Amino acid sequence: MAASARPSVVPQKDLESFQEHLDKSTRILALIGAGLSASSGLPTFRGAGGLWRTHDATQLATPEAFGRDPGLVWQFYSYRRHMALKAKPNPAHYALAELARKKEDFITLSQNVDGLSPRAKHPPDQLKLLHGSLFDVKCSDFFCNYVESNNYTDPIVPALAIPTDESDPTTTSALAARELDISDINVDLPELTFSHLPRCPKCKRGLLRPGVVWFGEQLPAKVMRDIEEWMVGGDKIDLIMVIGTSARVYPAAGYVDAARAKGARVAIVNMDKNDVPASGLYKGDWFFEGDAAQIMPEILKGVIGELGDMPDAAEE
Ligand code: APR
C-alpha cells in the first residue's frame, strides 16, 4: 500500500471497514454542522463557543429576539458575516465537495450558514442548505416577499461596521486601526436604532433581516421538497455521515433515523465522543473521534484520492 501523505488519525480497522462500505455505496447522505467549520475558526453553537457576549447564541436566533432588539441581532449577524468572510474552507469542506463530484447520488444536508461549502465549490445541486445562508437577506415585513441572495457586502450598512480601536499605538490612521472583537463584552457596541439598520429596497417599510432559519421557523420549502424527493427516490440508502453536529436540532437531526430506516449505516465524525444522535450507535456504525478537517480527507481518500489544490471561490 502506498504511504499516506498525512499521519493517520483514525484506527486502521475502522478505516478499512468504512472505506470498503463507502466504495460500494451509491446513495449517500451527509448531515453537517458547525463542527465542520470549527477548524476554519468559526465557533460552534453549543459548548464553549456558544456564547456571544453575554448572550446564548441560540437565543439571538429567534424572530422574537429580532422583534425585541433588531440592532443587537443585526450586530450578532453582521459579526458572523464578517467572521465567515474572513474564514476559509478547510479540507473537510473540500473533501465533501470532491466526494459529491465522484458520487452523483450523494447529497449533503447542511445546517451551516457560513458559506464555506459553496466556497469550496461543493456542487450546488448536491448541497441542501437547511438553515439558509448568512449571505441571503430578506424583508422582515410579513407582507413583503423581498429576498436577495449572495449579498457579501460587509458591513451591510455603515452602522454595522466592526468598530476599530483608534487608540491602538501600532497604527497611524484610524482606518488602519486594530479591528475589535465585538464578541468581547468589554468592547462597547454602538446603540443602533431602526434608522441605522438595513431597509427593504422593495417595500421601503420593513427592515431587512438575515436569510437564515431561526428557531420556530419553517425550513425552506424547496429544500425540504428536494430532500423528500431524494429520500423516496430509491429503495435504500447506503450510508449517512453525521459530521461536526450535535444532531440535537430538528428536523435536521431526524434525517439520521430516516436514513437508518432505509438501511443506512451511520458514520459519525465528531470531536466529542458523547455527541451521538439521539437513537445512539448501532452495530455496524462508525464513530471517528477528532477534528473533521483531519478525518474527512482521510476516510474519503479511497474514493476522492489526495486533495490537490484547494481553490476558494471567494478569491476567484
Ligand atoms: N471536528 C468535528 N466535530 C467538532 C469539531 C471539529 N473540529 N469542533 C466541534 N465539533 C462538534 C461538537 O462536539 C458538536 O457536537 O461539532 C458539534 C457542534 O454542535 P452545535 O454547536 O450544536 O452545532 P450544530 O449541530 O451545527 O447546531 C445545529 O443549531 O443553533 C442552531 O441553527 C443552528 O445550525 C445550527 C443548529
- The number of beta carbons lying within 10 Å of the beta carbon of residue 316 is 7
Report the run of H or E that residue 116 belongs to, with start and end: helix 116-119
Please give the tally of structural domains in the chain. 2
Distance CA 257, CA 260 (A): 5
- Please say which residue of 212, 231, 260 terminates a domain: 212
Average of per-residue pLDDT across 128-139 = 97
User: Which range, 51-55, 166-170, 275-279, has the best average confidence (pLDDT)?
Assistant: 275-279
My answer on whether 139 and 193 are in the same domain is: yes
Domain containing 296 equals 1-41+90-131+219-316
Do 12 and 126 sit in the same domain of this protein? yes
Q: Both 149 and 286 in a single domain?
A: no
Ligand 1 midpoint to CA 105 (Å): 25
Q: Which three cell numbers stand for residue 27?
A: 446513495
Indicate whether 137 and 184 sit together in one domain: yes
Give Cβ neighbours of residue 246 (< 8 Å, ≥ 6 apart). 33, 45, 46, 275
* pLDDT for res 2: 40
Is the pLDDT assigned to residue 172 strictly greater than 90? Answer: no
Look at residues 160, 179, 212 and tell me which one is the last residue of a structural domain: 212
185, 212, 239 — which closes off a domain?
212
Residues 20 and 54 both lie in one domain: no
Indicate which CATH number applies to the domain containing 182: 3.30.1600.10
| pTM for this prediction | 0.93
Angle between helical axes of 254-261 and 221-232 (0-180°, round to 10): 20
The reply to whether 15 and 117 lie within a common domain is yes
Total residue length of the chain? 316
The yes-or-no verdict on residue 39 having pLDDT over 60 is: yes
Q: According to the annotation, is 26 in a ligand binding site?
A: no
> What mean pLDDT comes out for the span 225-252?
95
Q: What confidence score (pLDDT) does residue 253 get?
A: 93
Are residues 119 and 144 located together in one domain of the fold?
no
Under 8 Å between Cβ of 6 and 294: yes
pLDDT given for residue 4 in this prediction: 44
Give dist(CA 191, CA 188) in Å, integer: 9
Residues with Cβ within 6 A of ligand 1? 33-35, 38-39, 44-46, 58, 61, 111, 131, 244-246, 248-249, 269-272, 275, 291-292
Burial class (CB in 10 A: 0-12, 13-18, 19+), 124: exposed
Nearest atom, ligand 1, residue 215 CA = 32
Distance from residue 216's CA to the centre of ligand 1 (Å): 19
User: Mean pLDDT, to the nearest integer, of 156-169?
Assistant: 80
Q: What is the pLDDT of residue 3?
A: 41
The alpha carbon dihedral of 68, 72, 76, 79 has a sign of positive
Q: Are residues 245 and 154 in the same domain?
A: no
Residues 306 and 238 in one domain: yes
Helix (H, G, I), strand (E, B) or coil at 65: helix
Q: Residue 95 maps to which CATH number?
A: 3.40.50.1220
Residues labelled as active-site residues = 131
HEC profile of 224-267: HHHHHHHHHCCCCCCEEEEECCCCCCCCCCHHHHHHHHCCCEEE
Domain co-membership, 82 together with 95 = no
Residues 19, 146 within the same domain: no
> How many Å apart are CA 116 and CA 314, to the nearest integer?
9
Same-domain check for residues 147 and 208: yes
CA of 46 to the centre of ligand 1 (A): 7
